[in-house]
Structure formats: structure tokens, C-alpha cells
């Protein structure tokens, strides 16, 4: 892969960085020279990821355990990033999240709360923690992972779609509020991407339906989403703010398609 930008001298925090899209993003930041902090709630996978990334770069890579539903812990992790990064945090790519595929009428209170608490409130907590220090420093890049489910309605996505739609609007509001402080906030809306989360959420029937609705006629890769994340996190993307970039093989653009 050809890297889009050079992050030498910058400190980047990647949440959910021990698996899926987050791991691909962390890998690319390591290759791009960033001083990297990988956060995840899975301690075992976190250790494996840090060991893998440390072999890719001479720049230090740290791992920190983080459950984004704990706002105090989000504040503490950002403080750790400042200590590790010499008093600076330049980039946050927030990829931590969970998913569920459940018909609306069958969704329980507990399922709804778990998705909203992790995917939406967790985004609020880590964005607030990072946004405060970035605004004070006068520079920052925040990239939040949303989903096409937050843009287009789909069966089984009541809780997940509501949470990701909230992530999109939260990102837009933060983009407006933090722009004068030199901080940009954008969101990515991945479509069907080959990750462990999607493997759990997408049944064989769901996969067939998606494939028929995607002009590219395939699922995407975590590396394709990572390339978009690194671009939005770069200095070169400084005039892109409040944007929602779909990485979906044309899914959101498509109308009626004839496939043989």
C-alpha cells in the first residue's frame, strides 16, 4: 500500500485498534511514522497488536485498555497520550464500536442501551476528551467511524443505525464548534467491510442482499477504509471539515441495478 501522508512527529490515538478497521488504521499510522497509542478493551488482542505494530516502525507504540463507555477512562487515556506524545495529541481515529442485527420490534431495552452507550455516547466521551486538548493546542484531526447504516435505513438496524446516525450529526456539530480552534472533525461511513464484526452481523441472506445492492459487487477491506481515514487525518485535508465520506463500493449512490 502507498501511504497518503507522512505523520512523522505527530501523535495519533486509535480506539478499537486491536481488530478490524481500527487495526488496519493503526498499522498504517505506524508505517506512516506516527507516535501511536492503540486503545482497545480486549487486553489480549491489544498486546498482540502492539507487538505487531512495534515491528513495523522505530517510533514507539503504546497500548492502553479502554472501554469508551467510561468517560473518566476516556479522559485518562487522552492524558496518557499527552504524556507519551510530549504534550500533544494530533489525531484521533475513533473506531471502537459494537453492532447488532435485530428487528426493531424484537430489540430489547438492554440491547438498545448497550449499542447507544458504546457507539454514540462512547463517541461523545472520547471526542470530548480529545477535542479539549486539541482545541487548547490549536490543532487536531478527529475521524469518527460511522456507517452507511447511519445514512440509509435497513432492516435489523434500529439501534445500530440510530447510534451511527447520531455519530454523524455529532461529528458535524463538533466540526462547526471546533473549526475556529484549528480542529477538523469528519466521519467515515463504511459499507459492507470484511471484518469480524460484519461476519457476526451479516447472515448469508444479508450478504446476498448486500452484494446485489453494491455496484462494486464485493465487500470492501479494512485497508480501503484505513486509506480514507489517514487522508482525513492528514494536514493536507485541513479544509475538509464536517464531511461524511462513504467507503461503500457505491452502495449509497445506487438506485435500481440490473444484475444477471
pLDDT of residue 260: 63
pLDDT of residue 26: 98
The verdict on whether 160 is a catalytic residue reads yes
Summarize pLDDT for 5-25 with one digit per residue, the tens: 899 999 999 999 999 999 999
pLDDT of residue 229: 98
DSSP SS3 for 67: coil
pLDDT of residue 204: 86
Where the chain has pLDDT below 70, the residues are 1-4, 256, 258-260
Angle separating helix axes 122-137 and 158-178, nearest 10 degrees: 10
Fold of 11-247: Rossmann fold (3.40.50)
- Residue boundaries of the structural domains of the chain: 11-247
List Cβ neighbours of 32 (8 Å cut-off, separation of 6 or more): 3, 5, 6, 7, 8, 230
**Catalytic residue of the set 160, 210, 219, 239:** 160
Asked whether the CA dihedral 83, 64, 67, 122 is positive or negative, the reply is positive
Amino acid at each position: 500500500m502507498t501511504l497518503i501522508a507522512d505523520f512523522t512527529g505527530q501523535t495519533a490515538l486509535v480506539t478499537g485498534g486491536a481488530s478490524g478497521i481500527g487495526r488496519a488504521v493503526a498499522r498504517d499510522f505506524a508505517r506512516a511514522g506516527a507516535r501511536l497509542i492503540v486503545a482497545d478493551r480486549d487486553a489480549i488482542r491489544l498486546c498482540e497488536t502492539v507487538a505487531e505494530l512495534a515491528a513495523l516502525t522505530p517510533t514507539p507504540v503504546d497500548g492502553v485498555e479502554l472501554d469508551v463507555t467510561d468517560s473518566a477512562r476516556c479522559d485518562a487515556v487522552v492524558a496518557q497520550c499527552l504524556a507519551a506524545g510530549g504534550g500533544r495529541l494530533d489525531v484521533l481515529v475513533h473506531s471502537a464500536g459494537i453492532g447488532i442485527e435485530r428487528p426493531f420490534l424484537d430489540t430489547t431495552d438492554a440491547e438498545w442501551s448497550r449499542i447507544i452507550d458504546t457507539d454514540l455516547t462512547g463517541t461523545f466521551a472520547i471526542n470530548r476528551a480529545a477535542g479539549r486538548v486539541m482545541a487548547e493546542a490549536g490543532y487536531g484531526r478527529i475521524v469518527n467511524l460511522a456507517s452507511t447504516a447511519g445514512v440509509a435505513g435497513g432492516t435489523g438496524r434500529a439501534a445500530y443505525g440510530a447510534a451511527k446516525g447520531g455519530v454523524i450529526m455529532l461529528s458535524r456539530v463538533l466540526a462547526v464548534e471546533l473549526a475556529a480552534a484549528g480542529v477538523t472533525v469528519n466521519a467515515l461511513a463504511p459499507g459492507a467491510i470484511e471484518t469480524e464484526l460484519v461476519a457476526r452481523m451479516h447472515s448469508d441472506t444479508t450478504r446476498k442482499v448486500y452484494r446485489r445492492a453494491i455496484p462494486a459487487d464485493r465487500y470492501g477491506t479494512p485497508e480501503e477504509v484505513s486509506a480514507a481515514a489517514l487522508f482525513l487525518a492528514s494536514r493536507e485535508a485541513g479544509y475538509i471539515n464536517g464531511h461524511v465520506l462513504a467507503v461503500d463500493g457505491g452502495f449509497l449512490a445506487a438506485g435500481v441495478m440490473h444484475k444477471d
